[in-house]
Amino acid sequence: MNDISPVLWQFLVKWMTNFALFPPEASRIAPQMDALLFFMVLVSLIGLTVVVLLVTSFSILYSKERHPVAVQVEGSTLLEATWTIIPLGLFLVMFVWGALIYFRVFTPPANAMNIYVVGKQWMWKAEHPGGQHEINSLHVPMGRAVQLTLISQDVFHSFSIPAFRVKREAIPGRYTTVWFEPTVPGTYHLFCTQYCGTSHSQMIGDIVVLTPEGYKKWLAESTSGASLAQNGERLFASLSCAACHNARPNARGPSLANVYGARLPLASGGTVTADEAYLRESILNPSQHVTQGYVPIMPTYQGQISEEGVIALVEYIKNLDSDYRIEQTLNTTDLVPGSEGNAATGQAAQGPAKQGQAGKNSAGQGMVKQ
Amino acid sequence: MSATIVSLPDQSTARVPKVNYLTKENGLLSWLLTGDHKRIAILYLISLSFFFFIGGALAGLIRLELLTPQTDLMATDTYNKVFTMHGVIMVFFFLVPSVPATLGNFLIPLMIGAKDLALPKINLLSWYLYMAGGLLALYTMMTGGVDTGWTFTTPLSTHYVNTSVLTTGLAVFVAGFSSIFTGLNFIVTIHKMRAPGMTWFRLPLFVWAHYAASILMVLATPVVAIAIVLVALERTIGIGVFDPTKGGDPILFQHLFWFYSHPAVYIMILPGMGVISETISTFSRKRVFGYTAVAFSSVAIAVFGFFVWAHHMFIMGISNYAVLVFSLLTMLVAVPSAIKIFNWTFTLYKGSITFETPMLYTFGFMGLFTIGGLTGVFLGTSGTDIHLTETYFIVAHFHFVMVGGMLMAFLAGIHFWWPKMTGRMYPEKISQLAAVVTFIGFNFTFFPQFILGTLGMPRRYASYPPEFQILNVFSTAGASILGVGYLLPVLYLTWSLKYGAVAGNNPWQATGLEWQIQSPPLTENFTETPIMDHEAYDYEWLENQNKENRNKERQKEKEVTSAG
Amino acid sequence: MPDSPAIAHGAPEAAHHEHPPYLRHHFENVEQQADAAGFAMWLFLLTEVMFFGGLFTAYLIYRNWYYRAFVSGSHQLNVYWGTLNTLVLIISSFTMAMGVWCAETRRKSGLVLCLILTFILGLGFLGIKSIEYSEKIEKHHVPGLHYSLQSFLDPDSDAAAKAAGDKPLPLDLARHTEVYFSLYFLMTGMHALHMIIGIGILGFMILRARAGAYTAGHVTFVENFGLYWHFVDIIWIYLFALLYLISRH
Amino acid sequence: MSEQIEHDEHAHHIVGPAVYVVILIALLVGTALTVWASFIDLGFWNPIIALAIATTKATLVVLFFMHVKYSTKLTKLTVGAGIFTFLTLVSLTLADYISRAWGSW
């Protein structure tokens, strides 16, 4: 057999040995997605076979040699109806089935652990609640629902894990979420699938699924000292948010304890659920979302805090369950060196060009734009 | 139910008429300033083929780069420019104008019995706009190129690339108006220029398809024009409309862009479907099965085509409710295509089929378009779209519809009407070979990409994980075969211009009005205004005509002999 | 080689009517030619509708998002200039309509007069618009690098804002006024561009009308230009309502 | 809808100055009305009134200045198609933006 070019030969062997039509099924949703895919492939194959069979058999039966006399047929309403209704029915089945899967992929369960992911040209930066940071890799525990809160710092990126059958765009200026539950330990591909500029094809990484114990071990090893919430607290202090958001009787801002997940009445009327997106928005565009009973005096922090900084703040506010913590930050505010300066000099930072350089290091200070 | 015997006339006696639209006037100016739709069609045909081969060459570069996992042929930014220019040139300067600007331009007046399109000057203008846009795009390619992808996604195109987005945008803008004018011209012509007796339901389906496509051209193209203007202004003076840091929403650009660019794929495919209706009827000597169903399905595609654009944005952060709505509407637009496929299939039923080159391309179209259409449903289904979108699955699907569908139809049409356009036949055997080669090469090139897609290989990657290599090798190998398949027609069609057998009026014994006049036609198409007195695809009528002609000839001979 | 006799032939069209000089060779008769031209013009207006459609869509979205910024923004526009411009344009539309009527009823001097009036009114519109634009430029309300939020952060420093009784906008809201002005300049700018093109064509038409071109029965050109002019008028009617009159109380 | 029928419909109707003057006055009144309306606070209704008046004015222009009232079915259809597509663009796009605010599900 080696009379074929050895290179090609070796290729063929390699391909035959690990030939696959689908990537590994490593998440809870994967088998469900594949079930639908198989169904659609099946339907398509049947449809294609029907067409091909009809065309070939007609071409043979009614070729000029066999059938020199064409018989003029007008058409048939019955047939028209058949091939209108049957495809439509099949397509509608696919639509409903697909919609159900779409619903599952984008509705995270309540108990899901949340990991923040920031996309920037050209890397993925993951922020674990425990303060662990990763570049172009993501460690997740097996058998645990993991929700990703994605945001891009510059252009559209897309966080794609073929083995999990999930994919979500990280878009600038807004959080998007997706969730998955890894079922098989191992290392899988992470791709950026939305074209994002020169090094698009280098914006790849590994998804590492660990056993629960392994994950614990990894967390312990790769901790950066302070948890995300603690960084947030430091930032909260250095930006002296507590000057207003202290639960004192004369406070100019609402108390933030247990605000996460609450339904807040807006000054503009109507209510809103305080989720990550809302918290982020009210840091960057506070006056858009003033809660009832307060005046829009909060300055915007747009262009002053990097996305990592916002994430830290959001995470801090999420975990804020008592006003006592705020009292603490209030006292520590003046202990943080040069925090006022940072907050002030941030003004200059404008536009994506500057945002690009933000958030290189991840301590509270670094998250304030220099 | 009645029988029709069709006999091909012997070509030997026929000779190419001295006076025709090609020989009417001579000299370059007579072409560059012509108002004759047939000559403008030829101008388009030449320039289109030129751009097609440039786009094809770029495709070749892409396939070569992807032969190996590493970026060894060119740097990533070069690769990005190459696939961007491939997309821009192929979409805006080949696919959109391909069939309408060449075959449509040439045939619509002939088919409806008119002397010309309603607005000949506008028709010529649209060719000049097309050329202006095309050359501008080429110029951009020579001087640095652009690397945003043909979708110009904001904010990448507005703030993050330093390549010539503006000139490319301008090129697309100009080309857009060329296509608007073409569509406008067709609609007016089809409404106002039909010959007496040529009622809407006597129109060939080719005309119906072009009518539907023209509606899309006129109504959708302006939206992409304004979107491009906004991108240009965003880039130059930074109006904040698409800029998140100023409160704009980058997704709005995608809405405006896809409002055109989704209907655009119907602008591309509908005329191709028109061609198929003609060829399949002619070569099975049988009227198209379910004429009205096919006609209305074209219009249905055009109308539904406006409601589905956001299925390109399912995971891009549009609202989940919108996703469901657009997914549902997408399912509806899939049905008319299925209707067409089945009607064409049953047109063969009880026909008397021959397998000349156009018919081979037609079979190719039906197979590949069926696959392309069905895989489209995979992407229109919101759930599976999550996994498949932005991977090579998209690339494969798009190329199955556009190259496997559209281009096959284009070649079918070119071969089918070549005798009418030039008065000479193309060489049958080699062209059949070319058709087969194209089909094989195409499947080799693009079928592996479906598997690559499901395996998760992202599109627009200059380098990729090694386990994807073998399938990419297949794809590249296929591409080289495909290349041969596309070069062959250029060679033998050019050859046939001089050495091809003389075609005569109606070499295929087709029923369309265009086949009842001399080929190549006179500049004024019809010496006298024709009166349409029969249905489209009426082969009994054609047969009777032929009988009459034969009798007339016998009469003549008798007289001659008696006199002698 | 003659056409195959396969199709029944009608009489050569030369028979059934004389050719006016303006009948293009490929039309059966003047009626058909006029029909075709008019229909083509309408289709062109469709493309124009969709062209502005994109802008209107953007406007509606951002107006819902940043209502307060849009209100403060619109307070920077001079509603009196705007109203005046609307009247000017409506009247010019009227004179144009009269012009078409004059052409149809072959009143040469009337047509010329109407066209000239339309021409002048059009120029007047652009003049007023340029005054408005210059105000914006002085105040640095042109989006881009030199955009200034002064009038919104501190309304008392700005006559217009003060007159409208604006309250100071917080910085994050004030920033969104730039989106408003982007749309303002885009929409009015596109509209002004159409006006300029229209006025150019008007000038050309006046010259031809003097020579009696359109009062000899061939009025298609005037009619179609009329359609264009009225369309531009309609666009302005909406721009006026959307940009100037968001909230004046 | 063959050419013949279209021709029959197309009795080229010439609109006289009288009509134009009436329309002109209506338009001027409309303008005055809409400006006046914008100065009084109708809350939710302000934009609706403004758009309603604008649409009325536009309709008058289309029907009379642009002769649509007297033109063929085809012309009316064309105008309809334009409005329809424009509304499709606006409504389906806004559908996304409005429902985004409803949260994830």
Nearest to A70 among B327, B351, B456 (CB): B351
Which residues of A fall within a CB distance of 8 Å from D99?
Answer: none
The DSSP code sequence of B370-419 is HHHHHHHHHHHSHHHHHHHTTBHHHHHHHHIIIIIIIIHHHHHHHHHHHH
SS (H, E, C) B271-295: HHHHHHHHHHHHHCCCCCCCHHHHH
Average pLDDT of the residues in A232-241: 86
Say whether A109 sits in a helix, a strand or coil. Answer: coil
Q: Within 13 Å and on the Cβ side, how many CA atoms surround B233?
A: 21
Which of C57, C79, C94 shows the shortest C-beta gap to D93?
Answer: C57
What is residue A166's DSSP assignment? Answer: E
What mean pLDDT is reported for chain D? 85
Q: What is the 8-class DSSP label of residue A192?
A: E
Select the residue of D3, D89, D96 nearest B223 (Cβ to Cβ).
D89
Single-letter amino acid, residue B167: T
Chain D residue with Cα closest to C62: D97
Please report the DSSP string for B458-493 in residue order. Answer: BTT-SS--GGGHHHHHHHHHHHHHHHHHHHHHHHHH
pLDDT score of A264 = 85
* A-to-B residue pairs, Cβ atoms closer than 8 angstroms: 302
Residue A124, CA distances (Å) to A121, A206, A209, B314 in order: 8, 10, 17, 22
Q: Where are the beta strands (DSSP E) in chain C?
A: none
Scanning B113-204, the segments in alpha helix (DSSP H) are: 120-142, 165-192
**What pLDDT, in 10s, does the model give residues B389-435?**
999 999 999 999 999 999 999 999 999 999 999 999 999 999 999 99
Task: Report the alpha-carbon distance of residue C174 to residue B525 in Å, rounded.
Answer: 65
Mean pLDDT of the C161-189 span: 89
Shortest CA gap B94–chain A (Å): 23
Packed helices C79-104 and C108-138: angle between N→C axes, nearest 10 degrees:
160
Interface contact B288, partner C, CB < 8 A = no
The pLDDT, as a whole number, for residue D8 is 40
Inform me whether the C-beta atom of residue C65 falls under 8 Å from chain B C-beta atoms. Answer: yes
**pLDDT score, position B559:** 77
- Rounded to a whole number, what is the distance in angstroms from the first to the last CA of chain C? 79
Distance CA B434, CA B360 (A): 10
B477-497 per-position pLDDT tens digit: 999 999 999 999 999 999 999
CA distance C36 to chain D (A): 11
Q: C-alpha dihedral over B357, B361, B366, B367, to 10 degrees? A: 110
CA distance C117 to chain B (A): 30
CB contact under 8 A, C46 and D78: yes
- Quick one: average pLDDT of B316-337? 93
Residue A33 · residue A165 · CB < 8 Å: yes
Judge whether B547 is closer than 8 Å to chain C, CB to CB: no
Residues of chain A with CATH 1.10.760.10: 228-367
Which residues share a beta bridge with A177? A149
**Best interface-test mutation with A: which of B146, B384, B388 has the largest number of A CBs within 10 A?**
B384
Chain C residues touching D26 at Cβ < 8 A = none
C182: chain B residues, CB-CB within 8 Å = 233, 239-241
Rounded mean pLDDT of B522-542?
A: 90
What is the CB neighbour count within 10 angstroms for residue B421? Answer: 22
What backbone torsions phi and psi does residue B455 show, to the nearest 5 degrees?
-70, -15
Q: Does D85 touch chain B (CB under 8 A)?
A: yes
Q: Please tell me the predicted confidence (pLDDT) of residue D25.
A: 95
Q: Which of B17, B219, B255 is the closest to C50 by Cβ?
A: B219
Question: In which domain, by residue range, is C77 found?
Answer: 28-244
**Does pLDDT of A14 surpass 90?**
no
Find, in chain C, the residue whose alpha carbon is nearest to that of A302. C172
> Taking CA atoms, what residue in B is nearest to A66?
B352
pLDDT of residue A266: 84
For chain C, the chains sharing at least 3 beta-carbon pairs closer than 8 angstroms are A, B, D
Question: For position C166, what pLDDT does the model report?
Answer: 82
pLDDT-derived band at C158, boundaries 50, 70, 90: confident
Q: Which B-chain residues 60-99 have CB contacts (< 8 A) with chain A?
A: 71, 76-77, 80
Q: Which of B506, B292, B283 is nearest to B412 (CA)?
A: B283
pLDDT value, residue C85: 95
Q: What is the DSSP letter of B195?
A: P
When CB atoms are compared, the residue of A284, A287, A297 closest to C173 is: A287
Q: Does residue D11 surpass a pLDDT of 80? A: no
Q: Which residues of C touch A349 (CB under 8 A)?
A: none
Integer Cα distance of C119 and C127 in angstroms: 12
How many other C-beta atoms lie within 10 A of the C-beta of residue A32? Answer: 18
Residues of B in contact with D96 (CB under 8 A): 255, 310, 318-319, 322
In a domain, C10, yes or no: no
Query: Cβ contact (<8 Å) for A106 and D103?
Result: no
Alpha-carbon distance C111 to B311, whole Å? 52
Ranking A208-217, B5-14, B142-151 by mean pLDDT, the lowest is: B5-14
Q: Give the Cβ contact number of residue B467 at 10 Å.
A: 16
Collect all residues of chain C within an 8 Å Cβ-Cβ radius of residue D64.
97
The correct answer on CATH 2.60.40.420 for the domain covering A21-225 is yes
The closest of B100, B103, B96 to B51, measured between CA atoms, is: B96
Q: Do the chains contact at A177 and D104, CB–CB below 8 Å?
A: yes
Interface contacts (A, D; CB < 8 Å): 8
Query: In this model, does residue C19 exceed pLDDT 80?
Result: no
| Separation between Cα atoms, residue B1 and residue C97, nearest integer Å | 59
Residue C8 maps to a domain: no
Is residue B3 over pLDDT 50?
no
ipTM: 0.90
Q: How far apart are CA A202 and CA A191, in angstroms?
A: 9
Which pLDDT tens digit goes with each residue over B41-67?
A: 999 999 999 999 999 999 999 999 999
pLDDT of residue A368 exceeding 80, the answer is no
Residues 6+ apart with CB under 8 A from B47: B127, B130, B131, B134
B366 to A94: CB separation less than 8 angstroms, yes or no: no
pLDDT in tens, C208-228: 999 988 888 788 999 999 999
Residues 105-164 of C with CB under 8 A from B: 143-145
Cβ contact, residue pair A302, C169, below 8 Å: no
Q: Give the other-Cβ count within 10 Å of C11's Cβ.
A: 10
Q: For chain C, what is the domain count? A: 1
Residues 148 through 187 of chain C touching chain A, CB cutoff 8 Å: 169-173, 175
Q: Are B376 and B340 in contact (CB under 8 A)?
A: no
Task: Please indicate whether residue A154 or residue C26 has the higher confidence score (pLDDT).
Answer: A154
Look at residue C10 and tell me whether its pLDDT is greater than 50. Answer: no
What is the number of other CB atoms lying within 10 angstroms of the CB of residue A31?
A: 11
DSSP-assigned letter for residue A14: H
Average predicted confidence (pLDDT) for chain C: 88
pLDDT at A286 over 90: no
Task: Tell me the chain D residues in contact with residue A275 when contact means C-beta distances shorter than 8 Å.
Answer: 103
Note whether C246 contacts D47, CB cutoff 8 Å.
yes
pLDDT in tens, B62-119: 999 999 999 888 999 999 999 999 999 999 999 999 999 999 999 999 999 999 999 9
Of the pLDDT bands very low, low, confident and very high (cuts 50, 70, 90), residue B14 is low
> Minimal Cα–Cα distance from C246 to chain D, Å?
7
Contacts of D16 in chain C (CB under 8 A): 101
Neighbours of A39 (CB within 10 A): 15
Distance CA B518, CA D95 (A): 55
When pLDDT is cut at 50, 70 and 90, the band that residue A335 belongs to is very low
Predicted local distance difference test score (pLDDT) of residue A275: 85
> Does residue C228 sit within a domain?
yes
Task: Give chain A positions within 8 Å (CB) of C172.
Answer: 284-288, 300, 302
Helix residue ranges, H only, B193-319 = 205-236, 250-283, 291-304
Would the CB atoms of C35 and B255 count as touching at under 8 Å?
no
Calculate mean pLDDT across residues C52-66.
Answer: 94
Q: Which residues from A are below 8 Å from C169, CB to CB?
A: 287
Give A249's pLDDT tier (boundaries 50, 70, 90).
confident
Give CA angle at B419 (B417, B424), nearest 5°: 155
Q: Across all residues in chain B, what is the average pLDDT?
A: 92
Phi-psi region of A187 (alpha: psi -120 to 50; beta: other; left: phi over 0): beta
Cβ-nearest to B390 among A155, A160, A166:
A160
pLDDT given for residue D9 in this prediction: 40
- Domain holding C88: CATH number? 1.20.120.80
Of B165-174, B220-229, C6-15, minimum mean pLDDT range: C6-15
| Contacts with D97 from chain A: Cβ below 8 Å | none
What is the Cα–Cα distance from C52 to C179, expressed in whole angstroms?
A: 17
The more confidently predicted of residues A335 and A311 is: A311
Q: What's the rounded mean pLDDT across residues B239-254? A: 91
User: Does residue C7 lie in a domain region?
Assistant: no
The answer to whether residue A363 scores a pLDDT higher than 50 is no
Domains within chain B, CATH numbers bracketed: 28-559 (1.20.210.10)
Chain D residues with CB under 8 Å of A177 CB are: 104
Half-sphere exposure of D25 (CA within 13 A, CB side): 5
Decide: C38 and B562 in contact? Cβ < 8 Å.
no
Cβ atoms of C122 and C195 within 8 Å: the answer is yes
Scanning every residue of chain A, which has its alpha carbon at the shortest distance from the alpha carbon of B351?
A70
Tally B–D CB contacts below 8 A: 48
The CATH architecture that domain A228-367 belongs to is Orthogonal Bundle (1.10)
Chain B residues lying within 8 Å of D82, measured CB to CB: 219
Q: Give the least confident one: A202-216, B117-131, C7-21, D77-91.
A: C7-21
Query: Mean pLDDT across the stretch A109-124?
Result: 92
Q: Determine the distance from the C-alpha atom of residue B558 to the mean position of all C-alpha atoms in its chain, rounded to a whole number.
A: 50
Name the residue facing D105 among A107, A273, A275 (closest C-beta). Answer: A107
Contacts of C101 (CB under 8 A, 6+ apart): D14, D15, D16, D17, D20
In this complex, the chains that touch A, judged by 3 or more CB pairs closer than 8 A, are B, C, D
pLDDT band at B331 (very low <50, low <70, confident <90, very high): very high
What is the four-CA torsion angle of B212, B215, B216, B217, rounded to 10 degrees?
Answer: 120
- Is residue C50 assigned to a domain? yes
| Residue B383 token pair | 């759930």
Q: Which residues pair with A205 in a beta bridge?
A: A190
Confidence band, pLDDT 50/70/90 cuts, at residue B457: very high
Our CA-based measurement puts residue C1 at a distance from the nearest CA of chain D, in whole angstroms, of: 31
For β-strands A263-265 and A146-152, DSSP reports them as unpaired
Determine, for residues A302 and C175 on separate chains, whether the beta-carbon distance falls below 8 Å.
yes
Q: Which of D38, D83, D88, D93 to mutate to test the interface with C (most CBs of C within 10 A)?
A: D38
Q: Say how many CA atoms lie within 13 Å of B117 toward its Cβ.
A: 33
